[in-house]
Structure 1
Amino acid sequence: MPRNKEFNYTEKLEAARNLFWEKGYHATSMHDLVDAMKLNRSSIYDTYGNKHDLFLKCLKDYTIFKENQYLRASMAQNKGIETLEYIIRDVVEQTLTDNKACLTVKTIFEVVPTDPEAQKLLLKSGESLQAILEKTILQAQADGDINSKSPSTVIARYILSSFSSFWSHYNLTQNKKEVMEMVDFLIEQIRK
C-alpha cells in the first residue's frame, strides 16, 4: 500500500521555485534541491520528477502567479488608462520589492535557448499576459486616453519587454527613483 505524502506539495514546490529563482536552473543541483525542499531525493523524484520536470512545474506555478497578479491589477481601476498604469506600477513595484528578477526573464535568457518545453510554456504565458494588457489598452484607446495609432498588440509587447529593462537598470544601479522615472516615461509615451 502506498504511503501518504507527509508534506505540503505547494510549499515544497515554492521552496524549489525560490531556489531556481535565486541560483538559476543550471547552478541548482539536486543536492541543493534536497536541502531547500527538506525532502529526500526519492520523494522529489516520486512527486515532482527529475530536476527538469521539477523546474517546469515551478515555472508553470510562477506563470500562474504572474497571470493572477496581472488579472488582480486589471480589476483594481475602472478606467482603461488607470488600469494600465496600475498594472505597470504594480508589476514593477513587486519586482523591486522582491529584489529578484522575474523568473520568466531569467528563464528566457538562461534556459529557453536550449529548452523547447520551457519556451512553449513561457510563450503561452506571455500570450495570456499580453491579452490582459491588450484589453486595457483597447479600452484606453476607446476612451481617448491613448492617442497612439499603434496596434494594442505592439503596445502590449512593448510594455512587457520594458519590464526586463527596468529590472536590468535596477540591478545595476539599485536606484528605485530612476526606475520609477523610467516607468513614468513609459506611461507618458503610451499616452501619446
Structure 2
Amino acid sequence: MARQTAFNPDEKLHLAMQLFWQKGYGQTSMQEIVDTLEINRFSIYNTFGDKQQLFIKSLSHYLDTVFKNLIAPLKGTGNGKTRLDQYLQNLGEKLQSHSGRLGCLIQNTGLELTGSGSNIEREEIGQHLTGMYSALQSELERAFEDALNEGDLSAQRTPLQCADHVLAAIQGLILLRKTLNQPERIKDQMDFLRSTIKEW
C-alpha cells in the first residue's frame, strides 16, 4: 500500500513558485527550497522531481494561478476594446501591488535564459515561455480583430501590429516596475497606453 503524502503538494508548489519568482532559478539553492517548503529533499524529489522539474512545474502553476487570471478579460466575448482595457487595468493594478515589484516570472525566466552564466535547460523551459507569450499575443490579436470587425479600430492598423505593440509596451512596463520601483510612473504610462488604444 502506497504511503500517503503528509503535506499538500499544491501548497508546496505555490511556495516553490513564489521562491523562484523572488530569486530566479539560478539564485535559488536546493537548501533554500527545502527550507521554504519545509519538507525534506527526499519528499521534494519524490513529489516534484529534481530542481529543474520543480521549476517547470512552478512555471505551469504560475500559468494556472497568475497568468490565466490576468488574461481572463481578453478571453471573453464582449467588445474587443473593452476587453483590452479591462486587461490593461487589471495588469496596472497588479503592477501597483507588492508582487509587481517581482516583475513577471515568465519575463524574469526569459532574461535569465539569455544570461551567459545560465544553467537552465534552455530548450524545455524555452518552449514553456514561448507558449505563454504566444497565448498572450493571440488573445491580444483576437481582441483587436474583434475591435476591427466592430468598426472600433482604424483599418490603417492591423490587429497583429496592434497586438505586437501592446505586448512590447507591457513587457517594458513590467521591467521598469521591477527595476525602478516607481509604481506611480508605471501607473501614468499604463493610463497613457490605455488612452492611446482607445484612439486607434
TM-score by length of 2: 0.86
Partner of 1:143: 150
Match of 1:184 among 181, 184, 191: 191
Taking the TM superposition and a 5 Å limit, the aligned residue runs for 1:147-166 are: 147=154, 149-166=156-173
- For each residue in 1:105-161, what CA deviation from the matched residue of structure 2 results, as whole angstroms up to 9, or x when unmatched? 100100366611111011112222222212211111222322253322232222222
Amino acid corresponding to residue 58 of structure 1 in structure 2: S
Structure 1 portions without partners, runs of 5+: none
Taking the TM superposition and a 5 Å limit, the aligned residue runs for 1:84-99 are: 84-97=84-97, 98-99=99-100
Q: State, as a whole percentage, how many aligned pairs show the same letter.
A: 29
Query: Taking structure 1 as reference, are residues 144 and 180 closer, same or farther at Cα in structure 2, changes over 3 Å only?
Result: farther
Partner of 1:25: 25
TM-score by length of 1: 0.89
Query: Taking structure 1 as reference, are residues 126 and 173 closer, same or farther at Cα in structure 2, changes over 3 Å only?
Result: closer
Find the aligned partners of 2:125 and 2:194 in 1 and give their Cα distance.
31
> Comparing both chains, which one has the higher relative contact order based on Cα–Cα distances under 8 Å and sequence gaps of 6 or more?
2
Find the aligned partners of 1:82 and 1:157 in 2 and give their Cα distance.
18
Find the aligned partners of 1:3 and 1:149 in 2 and give their Cα distance.
63
Find the aligned partners of 1:11 and 1:154 in 2 and give their Cα distance.
40
Partner of 2:127: 120
Partner of 1:108: 110
Structure 2 portions without partners, runs of 5+: none
**Contact 2:95/2:177, CA 8 A, preserved across alignment:** no
Amino acid corresponding to residue 144 of structure 1 in structure 2: G
Deviation at 1:92, TM superposition (A): 2.6
How many residue pairs get aligned? The number is: 191
Q: Which runs of 4+ in 1 moved over 4 A?
A: none
Partner of 2:10: 10
Partner of 1:43: 43
Partner of 1:171: 178
Amino acid corresponding to residue 119 of structure 1 in structure 2: G
Stretch moving more, 25-34 or 172-181: 172-181
